[in-house]
Each structure stands twice: as C-alpha cells, then as structure tokens.
Amino acid sequence: SAVISQKPSRDICQRGTSLTIQCQVDSQVTMMFWYRQQPGQSLTLIATANQGSEATYESGFVIDKFPISRPNLTFSTLTVSNMSPEDSSIYLCSVEDGDRGEQYFGPGTRLTVT
Amino acid sequence: AQSVTQLDSQVPVFEEAPVELRCNYSSSVSVYLFWYVQYPNQGLQLLLKYLSGSTLVKGINGFEAEFNKSQTSFHLRKPSVHISDTAEYFCAVDPPSGSARQLTFGSGTQLTVLP
C-alpha cells in the first residue's frame, strides 16, 4: 500500500490569509485526490489532480479558492486561499491503487481559521 | 450518481458485545464498496472492500461485511468489540468503471465501546 505524508499536520491561521498543504507519496501514482472533512462531517471531494493536467474540481469548489499543483507523480499541493472560519476543516489527500481498487489516505491537515 | 446512507450516526455498545453498523447505497451501476475507519485525530484506514466475488468480505481487526445486492446494503459487523474499536466508521462507494475513481462517502457512524 502507498504511504502518504502531509505537511503541515495542523495549523491555526488568520482569516484572509492562505495556506498551502503538501502531500507526498512514496510511489508514483497517476491520480491524487483532495478531500475536505468539516467538523463532525463526512468527507467531501474537492478535486482530482492528475499529473500534467489541470485539476478537476467538484461542484461547489473553484480553482481560485483551492488552487492545486501536481508537478510530478509523487507530489501535490492544495492551497486554501483567502481563508475564513468556514474553511476550518481537516484536509486529506488520497491516492488510488487502480490494480487493487483502493484509495489510500494521508493523515490529514487540521486547519483552524480564526 | 451514487449515494451512501449510514442510518446510525452513533452506536454505543459494551465491550465484548457484537456490533453491526449499517450502510445502504444507491447507484444506477454496479459499484465497489468500502468501509474505512478513522481513529481520533488520524486519517482514514481501509477496513475492508468488496470488488466482486464472495459477498462476505473479511477485513482487518476482526471486522467483516456482507454485500447484499437485492437490498443494496453493505453492513459492517464484528462479533466481539474492544475498547480500541472506538472510532468513526465510514462506508463508501466507487464506480468500477469510468475515467475517474471518486469515492462517495456516507455521513459516518461513531462507534463507542463502553467498558
């Protein structure tokens, strides 16, 4: 299974600022996913990031608010821009193992916006 | 489009008792089914999955789930729970075909094992 790390593990930010979350995988993967988990809620897919192409955003999420980079097959970043308290969530990245039909998740980044 | 319903938001159970966490899904196509567990302040860990074949699937930590196509259910069971099983459990579905794998999660069930 893939091993995924995320940085930072948690952060407290002021409203109006931006935070970039990094996701590193120990193997090359085609597709990476970014999810948001609001307090006490389930996971919601933000976008799918393929290397070499623009990320595909789900309904309700836009690139200006959540720009994503995917410079290579083992790394991706998600930026939460112009933050407000409503952005306080856990942000998780995941990767797909197509052969096994599984997704593996990183430990998450716990973001609090004050 | 698919959706997942976890009917029980919270399930308290005493240690060593059996437990069942319910999951129902709706989809116009066949799906892959998953159960994930999230321990406090941690990411998601795959418990088990159903892709095809036997409808009874065994996972880690003594959990198992049964796929019932006619009832569109994928309930999670454990015959005897431990304190360490206290966690949030998420059921998820994923279409096996198509250009992108996009997991759709249920709202989660908080399992609390009481001493």
- Is residue A46 within a helix (H) or strand (E), and if so which, with residue range? strand A43-50
Residue among B77, B108, B78 at smallest CA distance from B92: B108
For the four alpha carbons of A101, B33, B64 and B4, in that order, the dihedral sign comes to positive
Quick one: B106 exposed, middle or buried, by C-beta within 10 A (0-12, 13-18, 19+)?
buried
Q: Is B77 left (phi over 0), alpha (psi -120 to 50) or beta?
A: beta
Backbone φ, ψ for residue A42 (5° rounding): -85, -175
- Which residues in A have their CB inside 8 Å of a CB on B? 4, 31, 33, 41-45, 48, 56, 92, 94, 96, 98, 101-108, 110
Between B41, B100, B105, which is nearest A31 by CB? Answer: B100
Instruction: Tell me the pLDDT band of A98, cut-offs 50, 70 and 90.
Output: low
Q: Do B43 and A96 touch (CB under 8 A)?
A: no
User: What integer is the mean pLDDT of A56-76?
Assistant: 94
User: What integer is the mean pLDDT of A30-39?
Assistant: 91
For the four alpha carbons of A27, A90, B78 and B82, in that order, the dihedral sign comes to positive
A10-24, B15-29, B96-110 — which is least confidently predicted? B96-110
pLDDT digits (tens, 9 = 90+) for B29-85: 778 899 999 998 788 899 999 988 889 999 999 999 999 999 999 999 999 999 999
- Cis upstream peptide for B95 (omega within 30°): no
Quick one: A55 exposed, middle or buried, by C-beta within 10 A (0-12, 13-18, 19+)?
buried
Residue B91 and residue A69: Cα distance in Å, rounded? Answer: 29
